[in-house]
């Protein structure tokens, strides 16, 4: 099966495919793989659908191109937000993708081929296993534009721990792939893109041969205690939706 859809606003694309027990969801956007609301909705839908597909044993999340893995929220979308409710719904898009990833009854393996910013860090944290290249630096840039990593914060904090998460959120600067691996965000760091692709291929083939029931139960234990997250992430999205309308944020985005 294959799905192909395009964002009217930002011309991005989300694709999903399934072969040999491996479901793959990929996204692309001409602005460094940033994520407007339409792409976020499509990502959540595709991941959920593959999670429900009996033939899918493992899900791969990746992005296209040779630049950034994900530049986070779309600044074009920021500019288009007209009121707090619109802002809440936009930021909740990241929450819905996170929930789709952690609720899928299969392991989600993410391939990180380049730099990661903001909400993209949340997608990596929501993965059950993340493979990255040495150049895949990351940062939480939200504070620099007058908001904060409120919606993706719970999943990043769960993966990193409070100390590393707060350091990443407060000092909105780049961290190395080695830092991310040391703190448990990246499961493995590979030297080059070809070695990343080869490891992803071999690793997911191996996972596709494991007992689906065992992997489902393991997944449930990994994310136990997150049953209240739909309400938590909605409340966090409301905070971001208000802050994005501030004069500080408008000036920062304009710059």
- Extents of the domains making up the chain: 2-195+207-254
More confident residue, 78 or 81: 81
71 contacts: CB under 8 Å, gap ≥ 6:
29, 31, 32, 33, 34, 115, 117, 118, 120
Q: Please report which confidence band the pLDDT of residue 4 belongs to, taking 50, 70 and 90 as the band edges.
A: very low
pLDDT tens across 10-44, in order?
A: 569 999 999 999 999 999 999 999 999 999 999 99
Q: State the number of CA atoms in the 13 A half-sphere of 2 facing the CB.
A: 4
- Average pLDDT over the chain reads 93
As a whole-number percent, the residues of the chain with pLDDT over 90 amount to 83
Q: What is the value of pTM for the model shown?
A: 0.94
| CATH code for the domain defined by 2-195+207-254 | 3.90.226.10
Model pLDDT, residue 78: 77
pLDDT tens across 173-216, in order?
A: 999 999 999 999 999 999 999 999 999 999 999 999 999 999 99
pLDDT tens across 97-133, in order?
A: 999 999 999 999 999 999 999 999 999 999 999 999 9
Model pLDDT, residue 251: 84
């Amino acid at each position: 099966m294959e799905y192909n859809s395009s964002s009217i606003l930002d011309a991005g694309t989300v694709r999903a495919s399934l072969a040999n027990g491996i479901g793959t969801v990929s996204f692309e956007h001409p602005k460094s793989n940033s994520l407007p609301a339409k792409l976020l909705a499509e990502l959540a839908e595709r991941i959920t659908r593959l999670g429900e597909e009996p033939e899918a044993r493992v899900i791969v999340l990746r992005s296209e191109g040779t630049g950034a893995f994900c530049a986070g929220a779309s600044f074009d979308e920021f500019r288009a937000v007209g009121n707090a409710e619109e802002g809440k719904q936009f930021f909740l898009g990241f929450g819905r993708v996170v929930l789709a990833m952690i609720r899928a009854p299969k392991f989600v393996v993410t391939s990180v081929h380049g730099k990661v910013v903001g909400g993209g860090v949340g997608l990596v944290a929501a993965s059950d296993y993340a493979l990255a290249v040495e150049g895949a630096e990351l940062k939480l840039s939200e504070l620099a534009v007058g908001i904060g990593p409120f919606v993706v914060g719970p999943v990043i904090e769960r993966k990193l721990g409070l100390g590393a998460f707060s350091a990443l959120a407060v000092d909105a600067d780049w961290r190395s792939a080695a830092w991310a691996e040391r703190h448990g965000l990246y499961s493995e760091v590979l030297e080059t893109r070809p070695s990343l692709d080869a490891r992803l291929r071999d690793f997911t083939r191996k996972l596709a041969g494991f007992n689906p029931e065992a992997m489902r139960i393991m997944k449930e234990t990994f994310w136990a205690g997150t049953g209240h997250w739909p309400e938590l992430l909605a409340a966090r999205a409301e905070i971001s939706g208000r802050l994005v309308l501030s004069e500080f944020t408008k000036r920062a985005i304009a710059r």
